[in-house]
Amino acid sequence: MPTYFYVQRNAKFNTTNIAIPFQVARLNIGGAFDLSSGIFTAPRTGTYFFSFIGLPEFLTSSTVSQMLIDLFWNGNEVGRGVSEEANTLGGQNEQLSIQSTLRLNAGDKIWVQIISMTAGMFLYDSAGSHHNHFSGWLLEEELSLS
Amino acid sequence: MPTYFYVQRNAKFNTTNIAIPFQVARLNIGGAFDLSSGIFTAPRTGTYFFSFIGLPEFLTSSTVSQMLIDLFWNGNEVGRGVSEEANTLGGQNEQLSIQSTLRLNAGDKIWVQIISMTAGMFLYDSAGSHHNHFSGWLLEEELSLS
Amino acid sequence: MPTYFYVQRNAKFNTTNIAIPFQVARLNIGGAFDLSSGIFTAPRTGTYFFSFIGLPEFLTSSTVSQMLIDLFWNGNEVGRGVSEEANTLGGQNEQLSIQSTLRLNAGDKIWVQIISMTAGMFLYDSAGSHHNHFSGWLLEEELSLS
């Protein structure tokens, strides 16, 4: 059974330490991505690819501001995307990205989460033009003969 | 029939609101990407992946400068990549990226386009070292029994 | 034979003009990636995808600082990722990325390498949270009947 998702957001988001939810499924073949919780549940054991691009927005600051977003696998951090700037002006955005190839067991859960950010920052997005992108696929199912 | 492309540019580019053309095809298996127009035409109905990384160049400016590049699907915007900086110096570059997984019909067209940019900016590139990257593949053909 | 790797680093790195080595293999199906040398050797002739995200760290500087990382194929540059900032503060990081789809012959070698950087810069990483990501797969083997 093929598994492919590509989801987007319609509005800004700034809650830390929960899975980032999405509103638009451009594609959700196999139905493994749950938009409202932001959680992907692996339907089969196998090798998967995940790609996240986010767009943090900064405030005016002369010091270093940052947003850190991690890809999570059953509650464990897999890898981090970082957006960090100094001498920022209000409304300035900078993309961050994470890409991971993982061997998941059926039932494993994957999501992205804001780990920390400078106060006042948020992921920018709008219903007209989508700026946050999360894709995932089953690359190859692992077949067992047992 | 397999479909894979990976194209690059040889020189800078700064025209808005047309498909970004490319000069170098590292790979164009299936011949679905047209370099001079910058347009990919889906040879089959199925699920495709597209990845674009661009390198906008900034001018000296104390205010916020930006370049926005959208992935287009038959003339509709799918998603946006953003490069935005304040307090820039001339010759400073910052990458932007877009990645999308889409279910296309045979004949559908995909391209990337500069939507808007601060006056004087451009996509930097050179014939020696390639800084703009556009890849796409057919992940899985959709077979119909009708 | 399936071929997939996803490797990460445990610590910072600042050596130019050698392949970037890695310490952690989240995945190395087929065993084609050698962590200590940082070199991937194609086990079969076919079409491959490579994705690298790195996290350069900047020093305090009012002028433009940069790190350039190239994807290499048997010693030839395929494409470049760029991280460049002006008016930086110490400890500020900015991601760069490269993605390439290539048709390799069996035995071809692929790696990423710092081409040049402003003195004092480095790729930031830590054993706790991984900030540098390198993935690759065999998308499709090329079968010959000869």
3-state secondary structure of B83: strand
Evaluate if residue B144 carries a pLDDT over 90: no
Number of H helices, E strands in chain B: 0, 12
Per-position b or e across C22-31, b if 16+ CB within 10 A of its CB: beeebbbbee
Which of chain B's residues have a Cβ under 8 Å away from the Cβ of C70?
A: 129
- Contact indicator for A65, A84 with CB cutoff of 8 Å: yes
Alpha carbons C108 and C39: distance in angstroms, whole number: 10
The pLDDT value recorded for residue A1 is 76
Mean pLDDT to the nearest integer, A112-128: 97
Instruction: Convert the pLDDT of each residue in A19-61 to its tens digit.
Output: 999 999 999 999 999 999 999 999 999 999 999 999 999 999 9
Chain B contacts in chain A segment 113-142 (CB below 8 A): 129-131, 133, 135, 137
Alpha carbons A110 and A5: distance in angstroms, whole number: 12
Interface contact B95, partner C, CB < 8 A: yes
Which of chain C's residues have a Cβ under 8 Å away from the Cβ of B129?
A: 70, 77, 79-80
Which residues are B123's β-sheet partners? B13, B56
Evaluate if residue B145 carries a pLDDT over 80: no
Alpha carbons B98 and B54: distance in angstroms, whole number: 9
CB atoms closer than 10 angstroms to residue B49: 22
Selecting from B51, B63, B100 the residue whose C-beta is nearest the C-beta of A6 gives: B100
The C-alpha of B42 sits at a distance from chain C's nearest C-alpha, in angstroms, of 18
The C-alpha of C9 sits at a distance from chain B's nearest C-alpha, in angstroms, of 22
Evaluate if residue B61 carries a pLDDT over 60: yes
**pLDDT tier, C145 (very low <50, low <70, confident <90, very high otherwise):** low
C85, B91: Cβ pair inside 8 Å?
A: no
A98, C135: Cβ pair inside 8 Å?
A: no
* DSSP per residue, A53-104: EE-EEPPSBSS-EEEEEEEEETTEEEEEEEEEESSB-TT-BB-EEEEEEEEE
**pLDDT tier, A143 (very low <50, low <70, confident <90, very high otherwise):** confident
Evaluate if residue A142 carries a pLDDT over 80: yes
Q: Is the pTM of this model over 0.90?
A: yes
CB atoms closer than 10 angstroms to residue C99: 24
Report the alpha-carbon angle B127-B131-B137, nearest 5.
Answer: 105
The amino acid occupying position A27 is L
Selecting from A6, A53, A92 the residue whose C-beta is nearest the C-beta of B101 gives: A6
Alpha carbons A54 and B16: distance in angstroms, whole number: 24
- Contact indicator for C97, C70 with CB cutoff of 8 Å: no
Chain C contacts in chain B segment 50-89 (CB below 8 A): 51, 53, 55, 87-89
Which of chain B's residues have a Cβ under 8 Å away from the Cβ of C138?
A: none
Alpha carbons A85 and C88: distance in angstroms, whole number: 8
